[in-house]
Amino acid sequence: MPPYSPPQLHTPPPRPSPRQRRGRNALLMLLILFVLAALLVNRFEAVERLLPWTKQKPPAITGLHPVVNELSEQLVKKCTALGIHVVITDGFRSHDEQNALFQQGRTAHGPIVTHAKGGQSYHNYGMAIDFALKTEKGKLIWDLEYDGNRNKHADWLEVVAVAKGLGFSWGGDWKSFKDYPHLQMDFGYTIDQLQRGFYPLHEHKAAVVPGQ
């Protein structure tokens, strides 16, 4: 006597026929080919730069990113309107200039001003600026408490607030090494991605400051 088996209430779904399976596999292959092709022609750069093994030929960068450049000018103008004279003291830095700066306070004279070697700073990609204040007498100062426009607020922090409103992030917010004159705009690019040759070529102002 065969062992008892309960009556089947549901009929199992029909197995796909070999023809259906072949169709599905072909579709999958097409999809994979499409993704590979898209990667090859660099259409998916945003995805590709997230993959740590990808690299591309870096664009020749010799100055500030156009958006950073324009927003720096806006920063100066907006601060002038507040009675604060901002001077941009540094912008794009070549790898060599960065390496030289790194030696300051280490093998060269002066205080340590950076923890970044060539290629490790947003300055090396034209995506950072440093600023100072200029007093009425025309002297450059790095005084976080100076209140030149006498509105009972430190000018330095007023500048930082304007800069953040424009989309910059501030080195004074860094946890370990506070870099008070430093403002940067990364457009979502990490240093690692920039080092692998990716660069925000198509970012424009509208993407950074909505409504301006």
The residues of the shown chain that bind Zn ion, judged by CB under 5 A, are 128, 130, 182
For the bound state, the minimum distance from the C-beta of residue 82 to Zn ion, rounded and expressed in Å, comes to 22
Closest CB to Zn ion among 64 and 128?
A: 128
For the bound state, the minimum distance from the C-beta of residue 156 to Zn ion, rounded and expressed in Å, comes to 15
d(CA 91, CA 130): 6
Select from 121, 108, 98, 99 the least CA-distant residue to 182: 121
Q: Are 90 and 74 in contact (CB under 8 A)?
A: no
For the bound state, the minimum distance from the C-beta of residue 123 to Zn ion, rounded and expressed in Å, comes to 6
For the bound state, the minimum distance from the C-beta of residue 168 to Zn ion, rounded and expressed in Å, comes to 11
Closest CB to Zn ion among 27 and 173?
A: 173
Kindly write down the DSSP assignment for every residue of 140-172, as one continuous string.
Answer: EE--SS--TT-SSS-HHHHHHHHHHHHT-EEGG
3-state secondary structure of 133: strand
Query: Which residue, judged by CB position, is nearest to Zn ion in the bound state?
Result: 182
Closest CB to Zn ion among 130 and 155?
A: 130
Closest CB to Zn ion among 65 and 182?
A: 182
Instruction: Report the DSSP pairing between strands 86-90 and 128-134.
Output: antiparallel
